[in-house]
Amino acid sequence: MTGYPPNRLLAILAPEDLGWLESQLECIQLSQGEVLAEEGEPLQHTYFPQSAVVSLVRTLKDGQVVEMATFGREGLVGLAFEGIPIQSFGRYMVQIPGSALRIDTASLHRASEKRPAIRGMILHYTELLMSLTLRSVACNAVHSVEARAGRWIIATCDRVSRQNIPLTHEFLAEMLGVQRSTVSTILHNFQTRGLIRQGRGSITVVDRTGLQQAACECYGALREKYEKLLPVAGESTRL
């Protein structure tokens, strides 16, 4: 549609359904750290990331930032039904800069009313997001920080379709809800084992298979869920 990597949700739509959206979709570039909505604000636009990755985070009373969900080319940012504006549950912040397709949320709602396939796409993703959120709760409760870090890195690489991502120790620590020193120790261990290579503000996955083995089981489970609910012909099941 734009020469950028396809958004997985839009890719499952038939041409006639996608045609209802194309004229209203605006291709934009999102900058790292850009805030799309603050907590409590109504979501005026829905974003379909292509190469960008967005995190939904919440700042706790002690100042700690916790990631609640991540959105890449496999999904969308912002949901609304029946014309009711949904207030943001947290801060939507751009984690990885890149392209996204943006549409006015009210326009998306009107399209979903007229095209059952578009509404079905949104409902399937809502189910998927709920499954992901519940899985994340369980993951944070029982899996080690090292295993969660491995999953986070692999999933983020999949979302941008490359093995190198801009990532600082501070940012990953915030996303995992741990101290920076903990993340530094984990990444040093990954590098010593030949799984990743660290650069200045970036991480490159060197041994993907090895890193997957170090990651928790949640990565594979989520991939299977995506394949079941959002199958795209001819596309791998990576996020």
Q: Which two tokens stand for residue 62?
A: 């002690």
In this structure, the answer to whether residues 64 and 102 fall within a common structural domain is yes
pLDDT digits (tens, 9 = 90+) for 185-199: 999 999 999 999 999
| Residue 4 banded pLDDT, cuts 50, 70, 90 | low
Q: For residues 28 and 48, is the Cβ–Cβ distance under 8 A? A: no
| Longest CA–CA separation in the chain, Å | 55
State how far the Cα of 96 lies from the Cα of 73, in Å rounded to an integer: 12
Output the domain CATH number for residue 201: 1.10.10.10
Output the domain CATH number for residue 109: 2.60.120.10
How many independent structural domains does the chain possess?
2
Q: What's residue 62's pLDDT?
A: 76
Interval 150-158 mean pLDDT = 89
pLDDT digits (tens, 9 = 90+) for 104-132: 988 888 898 899 999 988 888 888 887 77
In this structure, the answer to whether residues 108 and 58 fall within a common structural domain is yes
In this structure, the answer to whether residues 113 and 160 fall within a common structural domain is no
State how far the Cα of 202 lies from the Cα of 220, in Å rounded to an integer: 24
In this structure, the answer to whether residues 13 and 27 fall within a common structural domain is yes
In this structure, the answer to whether residues 57 and 123 fall within a common structural domain is yes
Place of tokens 């999933």: 155
In this structure, the answer to whether residues 119 and 164 fall within a common structural domain is no
pLDDT digits (tens, 9 = 90+) for 23-77: 899 999 999 889 998 888 888 899 999 999 998 888 777 777 777 888 998 889 9
**Full domain range(s) for residue 196:** 144-215
In this structure, the answer to whether residues 12 and 121 fall within a common structural domain is yes
Q: What's residue 82's pLDDT?
A: 47
Q: Is residue 195 in a domain?
A: yes
Q: Is residue 238 in a domain?
A: no
In this structure, the answer to whether residues 56 and 136 fall within a common structural domain is yes
Interval 6-34 mean pLDDT = 91
User: Residue 209: is its pLDDT beyond 80?
Assistant: yes
In this structure, the answer to whether residues 97 and 188 fall within a common structural domain is no
In this structure, the answer to whether residues 112 and 131 fall within a common structural domain is yes
Q: Does pTM surpass 0.85?
A: no
Q: Is residue 168 in a domain?
A: yes
Q: What's residue 239's pLDDT?
A: 52
Phi, then psi, of 68 in degrees rounded to 5: -105, -30
Choice among 113-117, 163-167, 176-180, 225-229 with the minimum mean pLDDT: 225-229
In this structure, the answer to whether residues 129 and 162 fall within a common structural domain is no
Q: What's residue 237's pLDDT?
A: 46
Interval 213-226 mean pLDDT = 76
Q: Is residue 97 in a domain?
A: yes
Q: Is residue 237 in a domain?
A: no
Q: What's residue 2's pLDDT?
A: 56
Q: Is residue 206 in a domain?
A: yes
Q: For residues 78 and 125, is the Cβ–Cβ distance under 8 A? A: no
Q: What is the mean pLDDT of the chain?
A: 84
In this structure, the answer to whether residues 160 and 205 fall within a common structural domain is yes
